[in-house]
Amino acid sequence: DIAIKLGRRDASDLSPTDIAIEALEQIGNFLKAEDGGYAR
């Protein structure tokens, strides 16, 4: 999903920075969820 979101064809085209930013965004979404679940 990250590759598609960033307009890349394949996950192997992602840089470590791309992956780290996505991970931090997902952690932030998780922490913001009202019920402690995953908010998209």
Is 20 inside any structural domain? yes
This prediction has a pTM of 0.65
Which amino acid makes up residue 24?
L
Query: What is the Cα 20 distance to its own chain's centre?
Result: 8
pLDDT value at residue 35: 66
Is 40 inside any structural domain? no
> Could you report the per-residue pLDDT of 1-40, keeping only the tens digit for each?
788 888 888 888 899 999 999 999 988 888 888 666 655 6
Three-state DSSP class for 25? helix
How many domains does the structure of the chain reveal? 1
Expressed as residue numbers, the domain containing 13 is 2-32
Is 37 inside any structural domain? no
Is 22 inside any structural domain? yes
Query: What is the Cα 25 distance to its own chain's centre?
Result: 5
Distance CA 9, CA 40 (A): 23
